[in-house]
Amino acid sequence: MNTSDIQPFRIDIPQADLDDLHARLARTRWPDDLPDVGWSYGVPVGYLKKLAEYWRTTYDWREWEEKLNELPQFTTEIDGQNIHFLHVRSPEPDATPLLLTHGWPGSIVEFMNIIGPLTDPASHGGDAADAFHVIAPSIPGFGFSGPTKEVGWDIPRVARAWKTLMSRLGYERYGTQGGDTGSVVSPEVGRIDPERVIGVHVNGGLGIPYGDPTEFAGLSAAEQERLDRLQWQMQDGAGYAIIQSTRPQTLGVGLADSPAGQLAWIVEKFKEWTDPAHDLPEDAVSLDQLLTNISVYWFTGTATSSARLYKEGAGSWGQKTERSEVPSGVAVFPTDFGVRSIAERDHNVVHWSEFTRGGHFAAMEAPDLLIDDVRTFFRGLR
């Protein structure tokens, strides 16, 4: 096969893998639990048992596999790595190509609620002029693009692969959008392909403060609160990132062997990062969509290879980046850390929105708000 070939792809998890998942969940060896500590020590065992039982006995993977397969999927080889991607073309011939990038612990499953309105706005109460062709790859090491087979798949390399992918698909002008890891990859694509990237939209924020006191002058109360939350995250909520950036292989042994472990590892992030107005992850997002996202990690065995992205990129954390003049837009949701003055340091921010509903997983939590913000940002750039 020529390395530039693009092949159709269809998800088809063997029944033996489903049976194995259910058997492992039934045999879970649960740890002990402390009384009256809530989530302060991690995921409560009683809560996790209920989720695991639902995953084993009620959740229907085949139903969601069929939903995913309704979206056109493909694979291609780029830089020696298999790349899986959704490519959903709009019925509008003049639609703008939009490259969506997920993060960790996400996947292309995050985008299931926004692809229809983005590609076919006229059928979803919108304006046909706002239509996009959506390209949503799985990051190397994640899901059906995994696992990676060599070291070196850091953010810049992912961005270069995305540039190659868009060229291979024949797109000469396109926008980028992403949250979490996608909010780092998407601007990087703009940096390396500024002649073709018409705009970069992210949810979550752009840029992390370097510690220069002048960066904190004149912040609003809301911005100061976001920085305080970032400080808390670095002190109390960054354990997952530290282990994934230092010993992902050790962690991966447990996650690859225990679906309950994989469930706990991801569900905790959905508890901490979703809209704080909700008590539990399933109050903020669809439980079945969340379990579909987790199931993709489980069935593809990519807990370890996805975690390696943290190891590959750890050396660049907190380092200054080259300024990008590509027009940038930011949507800030509750639990996000976005501060406009910090974002403007390295990015040409021309659009800024702040919302009181939703959270870190905006495409799952508040798809209506995210869709509208993406449309608004790109409307003046097409």
> CA distances (Å), 221 to each of 235, 270, 282, in order?
21, 26, 30
Question: What pLDDT sits at residue 222?
Answer: 84
Question: What pLDDT sits at residue 1?
Answer: 42
pTM of the predicted structure, to 2 decimals: 0.95
| Residues linked to residue 349 through DSSP beta bridges, in sequence order | 328
Per-residue model confidence as pLDDT tens digits over 334-349: 989 888 988 998 999 9
Q: How far is it, in rounded angstroms, from Cα 376 to Cα 369?
A: 11
Asked if 315 and 155 count as a contact pair (C-beta separation under 8 A), the reply is no
Look at residue 320 and tell me whether its pLDDT is greater than 80.
no
The full DSSP string for 4-61 is: T-EEEE-----HHHHHHHHHHHHT--PPP--TT-TTTTSS-HHHHHHHHHHHHHT--H
Per-residue model confidence as pLDDT tens digits over 61-118: 999 999 999 999 999 999 999 999 999 999 999 999 999 999 999 999 999 999 999 9
So which residues are the catalytic ones? 180, 310, 360
Q: How far is it, in rounded angstroms, from Cα 239 to Cα 88?
A: 37
Q: Where are the alpha helices (DSSP H) in the chain?
A: 15-26, 45-57, 61-69, 115-119, 155-168, 182-192, 221-236, 239-246, 248-257, 259-273, 281-284, 287-300, 303-313, 340-346, 362-365, 367-379
The Cβ of residue 62 has, within 10 Å, a number of other Cβ atoms equal to 10
Backbone angles phi, psi at 326, to 5 degrees: -65, 135
Question: What pLDDT sits at residue 167?
Answer: 97
Question: What pLDDT sits at residue 244?
Answer: 97
**What six digits make up the tokens of 325?**
């003049």
Q: How far is it, in rounded angstroms, from Cα 264 to Cα 49?
A: 10
Question: What pLDDT sits at residue 177?
Answer: 98
Question: What pLDDT sits at residue 228?
Answer: 83
The Cβ of residue 276 has, within 10 Å, a number of other Cβ atoms equal to 12
> CA distances (Å), 235 to each of 45, 82, 268, 296, in order?
24, 36, 16, 30
Per-residue model confidence as pLDDT tens digits over 103-144: 999 999 999 999 999 999 999 999 999 999 999 999 999 999
Q: How far is it, in rounded angstroms, from Cα 313 to Cα 106?
A: 17
Segment holding 75, helix H or strand E: strand 73-78
Contacts of 147 by beta carbon, 8 Å cutoff, 6+ apart:
141, 300, 301, 302, 304, 305
Residue 50 corresponds to which amino acid? K
